[in-house]
Amino acid sequence: MSRKYHVAIVGATGAVGVEMIKTLEKRNFPVSKLTLLASARSAGKQLPFRGEPVTIQELREDSFAGVDIALFSAGGSISKKFAPHAVQAGAVVVDNSSVFRMDENVPLVVPEINGEDIRRHRGIIANPNCTTAITLMALNPLHQAFGVKRLFAATYQAVSGTGAQAIEELRAQVGDIVAERTPQAKVYPHQIAFNVLPHVDSFLDTGYTKEEMKMQNEGRRILHLPDFKASVTCVRVPVYRAHSVAVNAEFEKPVSVEAARAVLSKAPGIKLVDDPAHNQYPLPLNCAGQDDCQVGRIRLDCALENGLAFWVAGDQLLKGAALNAVQIAELI
């Protein structure tokens, strides 16, 4: 009989957590027992798994007895405090927060790109930043063919990337504006409905935000390219779900649109949607709820040498979080 695993989800009630439950179900992950953990606020509530209700427990240091795989998605401070307890109890942790991503002892993995890296784990494996994972799904096949040097990008990031409260904030603001009431901004510093905010995560002394530097820092680790350079502007847009990224990438070797399309049409986890004459290109609405990321608008970059411009979109709750984490668990 094939082995089954006791899986715990930390942050089970969150935007990512609920997708983790659905992804385990959808991919028929061999779960013997599912433990759902969240804050004291959620203890006692229930969420369905395979048609049965599972009662949520309050996360505690001793929550991990008997757990084989712990999927963490409750924020950095929770991961920092509780992941070591899970490892001590014998679990392998797949962490969605950013706290371990730059730790040399923690593999940072996108299974389609560097799945082999999980062999080096010492109990914790990190899931990359969502925008980075989605961008690299398109960039890596091109890098394998042409050798990437550097990248410029602007992101269009959905509110669900901030979590469940931000989805509610956009919904409430749209309702307020339609009803001609003054919208309230609590999650973001400005109104997000009918607006775009060139501000994701906190600002650094350089003027970039932390989120913007993740593409270069995490990209270097995932692609095994210590000299990879990425200059990114991250923008929050009033989209519920799925991030989009406008990318301009420069390569070592000469590129062509035909060769890029040929490479991307065969790449795992990415779908080529590139027929501008028929208005076919990736849209966040079409990517929401889909496992595959989509790439299109591929053209020769007119300002870079050996450059390609393209548009990639993907469901950041799936490939950028829950799906990638469950794929890592499958590799474990």
Ligand X SMILES: NC(=O)c1ccc[n+]([C@@H]2O[C@H](COP(=O)([O-])OP(=O)(O)OC[C@H]3O[C@@H](n4cnc5c(N)ncnc54)[C@H](OP(=O)(O)O)[C@@H]3O)[C@@H](O)[C@H]2O)c1
**Contact flag: residue 14 with ligand X (CB under 6 A):** yes
Closest CB 75 distance from ligand X, rounded Å: 4
**Contact flag: residue 317 with ligand X (CB under 6 A):** yes
Q: Which of 5, 7, 8, 16 binds ligand X (CB under 6 A)?
A: 16
Secondary-structure percent of the chain, ordered helix, strand, coil, rounded to 5: 35, 25, 40
**Contact flag: residue 321 with ligand X (CB under 6 A):** yes
Stretch that binds ligand X, among 5-13, 134-142, 182-190, 265-273 (CB under 6 A): 5-13
Could you say which DSSP state residue 182 is in?
Answer: P
**Contact flag: residue 160 with ligand X (CB under 6 A):** yes
Closest alpha carbon to 314 in 265, 245, 243: 243
Look up tokens 């469950």; give the residue.
Answer: 326
What amino acid occupies position 190? H
Q: Which of 284, 296, 307, 320 binds ligand X (CB under 6 A)?
A: 320
Q: Which of 63, 155, 316, 327 binds ligand X (CB under 6 A)?
A: 316
Catalytic residue numbers?
Answer: 130, 243
| Spatial contact of 331 and 118, defined as CB atoms under 8 Å apart | yes
**Contact flag: residue 124 with ligand X (CB under 6 A):** no
Q: Which of 25, 27, 75, 85 binds ligand X (CB under 6 A)?
A: 75
**Contact flag: residue 81 with ligand X (CB under 6 A):** no
| Spatial contact of 185 and 173, defined as CB atoms under 8 Å apart | yes
Closest alpha carbon to 239 in 314, 184, 290, 294: 314
**Structure-block tokens of residue 150:** 């550097």
| Spatial contact of 243 and 314, defined as CB atoms under 8 Å apart | yes
**Contact flag: residue 164 with ligand X (CB under 6 A):** yes
d(Cα 281, Cα 77) in Å, to the nearest integer? 38
Look up tokens 């089954």; give the residue.
Answer: 4
Site for ligand X in 34-73 (CB under 6 A): 38-39, 41-42, 59, 73
- List residues binding ligand X (CB under 6 A): 11-17, 38-39, 41-42, 59, 73-76, 78, 96-97, 130, 160-161, 163-165, 316-317, 320-321
